[in-house]
Amino acid sequence: MAKKRWYDWLFILMFLFFGFVAWYYEPMFFFGWSGCDWGNIAQGLEGPCGQHWVGQAFVGYTEVEPLYRNAPVFLQIINEFDVFLFGPFYAISLFAFFTNQHTSGWYRAVGTFFCGMLLYAMIFYFTWEFRTYRETGANITQVVIINGPWALGKVLLLMRLYLPADVRDRAWS
């Protein structure tokens, strides 16, 4: 098992943040636990979404991507994948990095699979955003800035999993 390098701690921080989003922030909205959900987000801050910081944040995102006020089912599903599919991956990744198993064969297989799934979803989402932002009124720059870290993080993880250590160390030093 490999020794943790400085950038492995950045992955740990990334997985902690992504895990928080997937297992607290998003379920508070998707399941209506914050009082705000897909059914009432269009009411804005004057409705139930204004009563909890999670609802307020989701309403704030509707300023970036107005379509979220009345999101189509496919967009709701893509967002909900983060909870059910990627949330467990973030927990597995934290375990692997904390126990120095992040270079093992089992984690490489799991990491490759989940990175591929997430990158596919992000490519789909970004392609849709770039094709429709004029119609939906989305601020495409902010959409990329807010959502880009999920894609970038998985590209960096794939580099961590597959680049030889000497190449990684030269590139990231």
* 117-128 pLDDT tens trace: 999 999 999 999
Given this model, what pLDDT does residue 24 score?
97
Low-confidence ranges of the chain (pLDDT < 50): none
SS (H, E, C) the chain: CCCCCHHHHHHHHHHHHHHHHHHHHHHHHHCCCCCCCCCCHHHHHHCHHHHCHHHHHHHHHHHHCHHHHHCCHHHHHHHHHHHHHHHHHHHHHHHHHHCCCCCCHHHHHHHHHHHHHHHHHHHHHHHHHHHHHHHHCCCHHHHHHHHHHHHHHHHHHHHHHHCCHHHHHHHCC
Given this model, what pLDDT does residue 163 score?
83
Given this model, what pLDDT does residue 131 score?
97
